[in-house]
């Protein structure tokens, strides 16, 4: 994961951790994993008292990230996260950690499907 996060930062991506969890808990988790320093911020839906996939949380993400909708990507291994982002008209990458997994059969599809974050960064280098 570290090489992927390093590559994403070098490509100019602004990395934000985005969670339904409490911000301090997420900071502790990322800190214990040794990756907190790769993120420019931690965005918790706890701040607005609602949860993903409510469209308000994706608007809050864009606001906190300071990027336009077309520049905001959500990257997740959780299909519900991807579906929520796509419903909010964001771009989304699904990290399909299990090769046998199927994406939930809703009207939304991810823009990109990768097996891991390194695959995602490979597409950015081209």
Q: What is the pLDDT along the chain (126 residues), one digit of tens a residue?
A: 789 999 998 988 999 999 999 999 999 999 999 999 999 999 999 989 999 989 999 999 999 999 999 899 999 999 999 999 999 999 999 999 998 999 987 899 999 999 999 999 886 654
pTM of the model: 0.90
Q: Given this model, what pLDDT does residue 106 score?
A: 83
Of the candidates 49, 103, 93, 48, the residue with the CA atom closest to the CA atom of residue 73: 93
Question: Going from the N-terminus, what domains does the chain have, and what CATH number goes with each?
Answer: 2-124 (3.40.50.1000)
**Beta carbons of 49 and 1 less than 8 angstroms apart:** no
């Amino acid at each position: 994961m570290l090489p992927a996060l390093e590559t994403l930062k070098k490509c100019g991506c602004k990395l934000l951790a985005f969670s339904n969890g409490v911000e301090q808990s997420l900071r502790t988790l990322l800190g214990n994993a040794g990756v907190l320093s790769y993120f420019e911020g931690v965005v918790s839906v706890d701040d607005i008292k609602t949860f993903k996939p409510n469209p308000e949380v994706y608007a809050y993400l864009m606001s906190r990230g300071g990027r336009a909708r077309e520049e905001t990507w959500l990257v997740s291994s959780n299909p519900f996260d991807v579906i929520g982002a796509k419903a909010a008209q964001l771009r989304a990458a699904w990290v399909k950690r299990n090769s046998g997994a199927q994406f939930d059969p809703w009207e939304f599809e991810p823009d990109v499907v990768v097996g891991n974050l390194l695959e995602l960064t490979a597409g950015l280098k081209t």
